[in-house]
Amino acid sequence: GNSVTQMEGPVTLSEEAFLTINCTYTATGYPSLFWYVQYPGEGLQLLLKATKADDKGSNKGFEATYRKETTSFHLEKGSVQVSDSAVYFCALSPNSGGGADGLTFGKGTHLIIQP
Amino acid sequence: KAGVTQTPRYLIKTRGQQVTLSCSPISGHRSVSWYQQTPGQGLQFLFEYFSETQRNKGNFPGRFSGRQFSNSRSEMNVSTLELGDSALYLCASSLEVGGRTGELFFGEGSRLTVL
């Protein structure tokens, strides 16, 4: 079946540090890949997505590139801020083209940014 | 516009009881998905409804059920509660069947504690 693996953390960084959160996946075919973010006290929200190999998703200074050869979708940001403190979830959609199979999520990475 | 609304936000039940959770999607969204979030298993797909029809179901026992009404509001029910059902239950809505785009809009969840 489909699965997503990501570092769980917590990951603690200083403000303005470079961020990488690793995400690798197992899926048949060509899934779509996503990063969701959950800020304290809020629901999950889509951060960025990529629907085919070599696509780069970007939003709010975050980027992730769909690497089919390494089955990875690592999240990066050049300079993090305290407001980036949240839980980040990597997810995939099987893109079966038929009915909905639901998203498969990683277990989430808790990111803490210290001033 | 208003986001996804879930009620109740918190509830406590005892083993053997049943519970019904409600979700009102974003206006115009016809798809509603349900996910269970626990520290051990992370986010797991329960089921998705679109236009009052269940489109897919995750790997959960038959004690977990749901329905969707003509106004797209959805309810999920868990019967004969077990301690392991304690979790945050998340509802997500989308314009179309969620698995195709992955762009889901999540509510803040209903936190169920089973004693």
Please tell me which residue, A13 or A100, carries the higher pLDDT value.
Answer: A13
Q: How far apart are CA A9 and CA A111, in angstroms?
A: 7
Low-confidence ranges of chain B (pLDDT < 70): 1, 98-102
- Hey, is the C-beta of B102 within 8 angstroms of any chain A C-beta? yes
Q: Provide the pLDDT for residue B11.
A: 96
Which one of A3, A105, A109, A110 would you mutate to disrupt binding with B, by most B Cβ within 10 Å of its Cβ? A105
Q: How far apart are CA B76 and CA B45, in angstroms?
A: 13
At A18 the pLDDT is: 97
Name which of B92, B96, B90, B95 is nearest B112 in CA terms.
B90
Q: What is the pLDDT of residue A99?
A: 44
| The residue to which tokens 């975050």 are assigned | A62
Mean pLDDT confidence for A103-108: 92
pLDDT digits (tens, 9 = 90+) for A7-46: 888 999 999 999 999 999 999 888 899 999 999 888 899 9
Would you state the pLDDT for residue A19? 97
Chain A residues whose CB is inside 8 A of the B107 CB are: 43
To the nearest whole Å, the CA of B107 is away from the closest chain A CA by: 5
Q: Quote the pLDDT of residue A42.
A: 86
Q: How far apart are CA B62 and CA B18, in angstroms?
A: 13
Would the CB atoms of B106 and A94 count as touching at under 8 Å?
no
